[in-house]
Structure 1
């Protein structure tokens, strides 16, 4: 479509006999956050490496709007993409401002533009008051935010973030989320890899779930939840531990000690019938809570694995 900012088709990458990415395709539009989800080793980082131009695929293509590819115009392609790698990539003994200016100089920014942009992106990530300080003195969360500033200094259309909250505290994580949501409002397009479903649920407009290098599901959150037989859950605290016979015939029940978790289509409609069924089977209920399904449930239903496996 004409409003597609990035189109990746049939990406494949193998390292010897190990296939890291197999037939991965995705589409990114302006102002959209695409969540790339999967367990460790699923192929997320390899996919990001291919899109950024750091990894050469064995097959497939990545095309930016206007028909720009890495092969047709490498500099134009890379100027439109900013990368926040999984591992922190900074010069620890250079002041924060000099780190940002160094990365900007690699993209050919003029000196006056470079100084202005460095000041803007440091302010954006909340590090303006630490511009003269060295990253060696920063916390892990501050280093992550400085990495984001370095990736933004050349004002790219697309920002690739490979697990940018790894190893940071909750306060820093929320600060990073605030930065990314502001970028989205400004029209930037983001690809965000993670194996934490709560991050994707907060940020992502569109989701691509990968496992063993392949796409197992793609769509909006609503579309993915629609693939579940039930998207709400009833958590029931019970007295004692009923035998399996007492639980037979109940829909999609999992048991952990004295807690039952039952998948239901409509909590308001189904709860009374389930409680009646439990009472008839001699199961005494002492507590009740409700919850909705998560992306972890979607992934488990599709693959039988947890996202963090």
Structure 2
């Protein structure tokens, strides 16, 4: 990369994404970081300062003032609006710039993305591109995330396109970069994908329970499903039975990868988008009710840990 970079949101997925960016940056450039939970910033700096300079800044506006490329990975639409448009701390308060790149990796609704993009453009603060990711924490750690980009495939002739490619390839698999054509379309594709993945995880849990209760060895059952028509990414990576898939959260003391409450957000995006186009979201509505109940279980309430 030929510039300083900012990263906002050092959560479960954002943290390893930021690690990948810092490792890919030339040591003469600085990575600026921001998160509302300051211990995450401090831990990030302590663990990754050997790869080059890292500075913790106080506001998103400070990040955009210092960086020519900014990546954000925050929980949802309200947080995106806040980091971009807040009058006192938002990135829209940074100086004007024609070549500043905002790479929005959060999963939000298309309307919010298009609204924020229009406000950023109107204020001449740079270019906003929605680029939600898929693959979860394991792919983020391995730098093999899928990027679903709300932009046409770049021709590589502009500074912005060069920076965009460098950033994406520092975190993602080059064979899993999808150029969807325009602002919001990357998110529309990601919402469609999450509609499936959030719902199918419940099917996996129920199917494993049926087989195990009937007497099938859980490892054998997972192997059968993996090699049959029930095979899915979620079954291969997020199997809910401990000791079946070595890298699954269930086999690692339920290590945090994706909060139960976030399933509600992702399913809501799919349900609301479906209704916009007069599609009956019957599957997602059923899944939403299950996750809503689970989200209130004390075992699913996660607090920050270092």
TM > 0.5 between the two? no
Greater relative contact order (Cα 8 A, min sep 6): structure 1 or 2? 1
Q: Which has the higher helix share?
A: 2
- Which is greater in Rg? 1
Q: Which has the higher strand share?
A: 1
Length-normalised TM-score, structure 1: 0.31
